[in-house]
Chain A
Amino acid sequence: MIRAVIVMNNQGKPRLSKFYDFQPVEKQQELIRCVYEVLRTRAENMSNFIQANSIFGPDAWLVYKNYATLYFIFVFDSSENELAMLDLMQVFVETLDKCLSNACELDIVFNFSKVGKGLKCNHAGPKINDLVAQLIAHDFLSELLSELNCLLVELLGFCIFLASNLI
């Protein structure tokens, strides 16, 4: 299963982190730092897999990819296929790109909740990557739609609320 998803920039600042096993915040920060220490030593054109037992305990692998100034990192164990993880990451990034139209680091910074949303549906059920790649985008959009709906309802509610207060 996937144990964590981290997005950080190339200075080691986390932009998004999801740990699917509960970790205290200090531990999370430490793990992120450790991952960054490993990643920074790796040049381009190296393989994207790292055995991460020393950081995340036994049976932990890490796949990362560098897009512009961002590192995308998935931590997973032996019940995932490495290449499939790489694909999944690609889909995730593409989805972000689509949804945020040409995603860059700033977008992810500013759209924290949306990106988190996208991730959530990536793992319907936290640890299970049950989504077929093509379906992710669809799911993502449907959730966005639902959000929009709720927003409308909320706006309506707020207007009524305002009105009632004014009256």
Chain B
Amino acid sequence: MAGSSIMETLFQRTLDDIIKGLRLQLIGESAFISKAMEEIRREIKSTDPHTKSTALQKLTYFNSVHGLDMSWAAFHVVEVIGSSRFAHKKIGYLAASQSFHDGTDVMLLITNQLRKDLTSTNEFEVSLALECLSRIATLDLARDLTPEIFTLLSSSKNLVRKKAIGVILRVFGVYPDAVRVCFKRLVENLESPDPQMVSATVGVFCELASKDPGSYLPLAPEFYKILVDSKNNWILIKVMKIFAKLVQLEPRLAKRVVEPICEHMARTGAKSLMFECVRTIVTSLAEYESAVKHAVVKIRELLIDDDPNLKYLGLQALSIVASKHLWAVLENKEVVIKSLSDADPNIKLESLRLVMAMVSDSNVSEISRVLVNYALKSDPEFCNEILGSILSTCGRNFYEKIIDFDWYVSLLGEMSRIPHCQKGEEVENQFIDIGMRVKDVRPELVRVARDLLIDPALLGNPFLNRILSAAAWVSGEYVEFSKNPFELMEALLQPRTSLLPPSIRAVYIHSAFKVLIFCLHSYFFQRKTIASSSLSSNDLAQGVSDSVSVRESPKGSGSATCEAPANELDGGFNPRIPSQLSKDIPTGNGDEMIVTHGQTSSFASLEKNSFTEDSISNLLNLIEMALGPLSVSHEIELQERARNILGFIELIKQEIPGSLDQGEGNFEREQLKASEVINVMRDAFSKELGPVSISAQERVPVPDGLMLNENLCDLEKICGDVQLPSTSSFSLGTPHSKEKIGVSLLNLQSKEESEPSTESTSLLAEHRKRHGLYYLSSEKNEISSTDYPPANEMKLQDDLHDDAEDLVKLTEQSLVPKKKPNHAKPRPVVVRLDEGDEVSIVAKKPDSKDDLLSGAVRDVLFGNEAIPTSSQRNPSDKSSSKRKGKEKVNIDLPSELKENLGDEEKPDLGNPSSRRSKHRTHGKERRHRSPGKNDEEREENVQKEKQKSSHRHGRHKARQRADGPLNVVAQAAVIPDFLL
């Protein structure tokens, strides 16, 4: 046995051999590794510690660099740690810290070994154990080893003490009760003369405070002292980070620290410290104007530096300032805009963010124009960043920055055509959202949508699908604003739509349906007016509006016969009209129309498009041709919709020839039937859709007998093969952005409700039910095909080639905060409802672990002196207290303490005279007091506490403070006193 182990030892390959062999690559890497692993598996079982540890070292190497699993060797790791030789131990600890985790089951086996090493006289062994513990400590380990760590915290050897301080962070994290034992010593280390200790301790506090700053407010005086006295940049940076957190909780601290921080900022030559000062000032001390001014000067220095790192950090700091001090950004706008064309994507992004921060309602269009042009020349990734930030900035808070919606809508259209655009979803949402919220922009919206739909090239780009679906929906929903419905229909049914995914094609078909209804209605209406105006008006103008008689055709379109009835219809069916139109209307009527929702119908282009028999039958043929094949489609949505339309055409076709061929007498009757059907359909589409509140569904009570928790597995069997439509493809029913319910549109709807609701409404309801998601009811309104002049020209392809210099020049003008240029027209109404507007901010609760930890810290800092933990062998107990007898009772104290955190100190405060002399009995007292009693006393104690705080707080020593109970309630008042 001995012989074989010698042989093994002598001929074992060391780590170096392995690495060299690996480099030689004689047999290929993976083969080599698997061979080496075989060796390792054999060697690691050896009884010889040297062989074993070398094998483990090799394994650790493979684990670290080649990612091989080593969890199977956990037990061997424990064995190697137990070796008496330092070199072996070292290998073992390295392996443990690399491979052990909370779920490792042999973890408990190393507790004793760790304890032995922690109490070893060899400082290197101790530090090995500490290093390992800091990586792998679990609740059990931490609980069992806290006493040893406590002892090491005041070790005379710097190396050990420093590492013990580091370990504390992990121990506190997994075992909050350790705070009661170790916290005092940790705080003592803050005042150590050795900068290494201070640095380690401040580091720990920085980590702790980043999770729960509030608990460490009482330590502010110590930190302040360090901030003023320390010369070590590393420590100063950490202290500043702590203060950045504390100041946000205690504004009075700010007054004290702002001065030293500014001093450091002015004095230091180290960029890292300077930047930390700047960051602290701009994040936490932004109210101090002069400090911010100094900081901005420093930021400028960073910005003009050649080092991209400094530039990047400068931009970052600037974007923090931007929210509160926009002037700082404007001062540096030149640099910011130049950085847009930097080679470094970080810098570009950061400057883009800053540019967007400068956007206001007066310059939004110029900036967006410049950025969109710039996006055209950027790489795809950055291009999309630009588009995304334009969309989110403009869309923020219900488009508050947008005044000219016509412009914005055409910008959306333009963005969609940018080759790299991948922001389809956002554009889609905004398209529909604007359509629903902003009535006045609908004509332009329809125009933009038409331009998108009509371009066959766009159909092939999958990123544009979503946009096209929105465009199709918009043009179907608001078809009455369309200049040429026939052209629209052709666009919707063009052959290349077969490139679209079915869900979007379904939207196309449905929109085509809407357009069809619109055309038919217009056609019949025209016929009727020609045939007999009185009849048609009786038939159609059911929901008579007050304004009917007053109105006249706004355009004076020339087809005199159609004027009167047109207007009657108008009132009845609430067609929509853009505001520009109302300007054209003779003044007398204009007023009237604003009263009736500023809506009227335009027949301006009626004669142009005139819905003749030919055109209608062409239209019908076109639809039949295009949709015929789809009626046997495998896509259920397509098939269903196509069949709906075809069926409808079937129905209408029977009527139309009759109506065309018959003489006057018959016309009435036949016409009646056809137009009734169409009216019904038109009614179905005429309900205006409004934005839906995100909480709307919650307000619907759950009907009786509806079992929401019932198992639906049966249903699954039935529906398993049905492909569900992707819910995202159309988002009207779903609250896609935080929207409100469109209640404001109710008045519109109520009018429509006065129209005769025939049996077909129930049919419709059924249809609606069946189609759930896709049912896009829309106003299929009558004749109005409008020819509004487009609000502004949107051909943008002209200036696509300006480079960074132009960029600077252009934006320079636009970024100057103008004093509100007078807008050509007032901002249109954007529908928004107050209710449900606020995005509920869910205050994120710290997780329970943090709660425990901060609870413990508060306990220690604000009140009781360290209470020994449940650990029975706590050596600190011997030295620091004589409470051994009480330990047992104290075991369950922590939780109790946490519960009555606010209460427990009060009793002490009630009799402050005994406070210092009776520490030892506090625990007992507290236990005997019932919480109820504490509650009663609370009020007056708070008063007393406040009076007393000034006496007590002259003292600085943390130890004393930890002894003398501080009141949590009075905590806020306490801190500044320390600092004074």
Q: Which residues of A contact B (CB under 8 A)?
A: 1, 14-18, 20, 22, 25-26, 28-29, 42-43, 45-51, 78-79, 81-84, 86-87, 109-110, 112-113, 116, 120, 123-133, 135, 139, 142-143, 146-147, 150-151, 153-154, 157-158, 165
Contacts and interface: CB of A to CB of B under 8 A. Distances in A.
Contacts of A142: 159
A151 B87 contact: yes
Interface stretch (B306-314, B796-804, B809-817, B860-868): B306-314
Contact of A47 (B94, B102, B199, B312): B312
A48 B15 CA distance: 33
Nearest to B89: A150
B170 A126 contact: yes
Given A20-B135, A47-B346, A132-B234, A1 B87 contact: no
Interface in B19-44: 19-20, 23
A146 B169 CA distance: 27
B346 A124 contact: no
A22 B101 contact: yes
B222 to A, nearest CB: 17
B272 A47 contact: no
A112 B95 CA distance: 13
Contact of B203 (A50, A129, A146): A129
A84 B64 CA distance: 26
Interface in B52-76: 57, 61, 63-65, 67-70
B313 A126 contact: no
A123 B65 contact: no
Contacts of B624: none
Contacts of B764: none
A165 B6 contact: yes
A11 to B, nearest CB: 13
B234 A109 contact: no
Contacts of B167: 125
Contact of A125 (B63, B169, B241): B169
A112 B57 CA distance: 10
Q: Could you say which of A81, A127, A143 has the most chain B C-beta atoms within 10 Å of its C-beta?
A: A81
Nearest to A13: B65
Interface of B: 2, 6, 15-16, 19-20, 23, 50, 57, 61, 63-65, 67-70, 85-87, 90, 94, 97, 100-102, 124, 127, 130-131, 134-136, 159, 162-163, 165-170, 195-196, 199-200, 203-204, 206-207, 210, 232-234, 237-238, 241, 271-273, 275-276, 308-309, 311-313, 343-347
A127 B347 contact: no
B272 A81 contact: yes
A47 B67 contact: no
A165 B136 CA distance: 39
Q: Could you say which of A20, A125, A146 has the most chain B C-beta atoms within 10 Å of its C-beta?
A: A125
Contacts of A131: 196, 199
A112 B61 contact: yes
A15 B67 CA distance: 11
Q: Could you say which of B57, B65, B276 has the most chain A C-beta atoms within 10 Å of its C-beta?
A: B65
Nearest to B163: A124
Nearest to B86: A150
B311 to A, nearest CB: 7
B204 A17 contact: no
A165 B101 CA distance: 40
Q: SS class of chain B's interface: helix, strand, loop or mixed?
A: helix
B344 A128 contact: no
A129 to B, nearest CB: 7
A123 B203 CA distance: 11
14 contacts: A14-B67, A22-B136, A25-B70, A43-B343, A48-B308, A79-B210, A81-B273, A83-B272, A84-B237, A125-B134, A125-B162, A126-B135, A142-B159, A165-B2
B9 to A, nearest CB: 9
Contact of B162 (A25, A86, A124): A124
Contacts of A147: 87, 90
- Which 10 pairs, one residue from A and one from B, show the smallest C-beta to C-beta distance? A125-B166, A83-B272, A130-B200, A47-B312, A22-B101, A47-B308, A29-B67, A150-B86, A128-B203, A46-B344
B195 A127 contact: no
Contacts of B170: 125-127
A146 B124 contact: yes
Contacts of A151: 87
Contacts of B2: 165
Contacts of B344: 45-47
A127 B133 CA distance: 12
B134 A127 contact: yes
A30 B353 CA distance: 30
Given A86-B309, A124-B162, A135-B196, A110 B210 contact: no
Nearest to A32: B67
A112 B203 contact: no
A84 B65 contact: no
B63 A112 contact: no
Contacts of B94: 113, 116
Contacts of A124: 127, 131, 159, 162-163, 166, 200
B196 A1 contact: no
B169 A128 contact: yes
B275 A47 contact: no
Nearest to B85: A154
Nearest to A46: B344
B308 A123 contact: no
A40 to B, nearest CB: 13
Contacts of B196: 130-132, 135
A158 B9 CA distance: 11
Contact of B207 (A1, A86, A87): A1
A36 to B, nearest CB: 13
Contacts of B101: 22
B87 A47 contact: no
Contacts of A126: 97, 131, 134-135, 166, 170
Nearest to A48: B309
A125 B163 contact: yes
Contacts of B70: 25
B308 A81 contact: no
Q: Could you say which of A15, A49, A127 has the most chain B C-beta atoms within 10 Å of its C-beta?
A: A127
A153 B232 CA distance: 39
A120 B131 CA distance: 8
Contacts of B69: 25
Given A26-B67, A81-B275, A124-B166, A50 B87 contact: no
Nearest to B2: A165
Contacts of A17: 64-65
B235 to A, nearest CB: 8
A157 B9 CA distance: 14
Contacts of A15: 65
A2 B204 CA distance: 12
A15 B23 CA distance: 13
A143 B194 CA distance: 20
A78 B312 CA distance: 16
A3 B345 CA distance: 24
A141 to B, nearest CB: 13
Contacts of B343: 43, 45-46
Contacts of A83: 271-272, 275, 309, 313
A28 B65 CA distance: 10
B272 A84 contact: yes
A104 to B, nearest CB: 13
B522 to A, nearest CB: 53
Contacts of B57: 113
Given A113-B15, A132-B195, 9 more contacts: A25-B70, A83-B275, A110-B16, A125-B130, A126-B131, A127-B170, A131-B196, A132-B196, A157-B85
Given A112-B61, A120-B131, A128-B204, A84 B163 contact: no
Contacts of A129: 203, 234
A130 B162 contact: yes
A79 B162 contact: no
A147 B136 CA distance: 23
Given A48-B309, A126-B131, A87 B272 contact: yes
B80 to A, nearest CB: 14
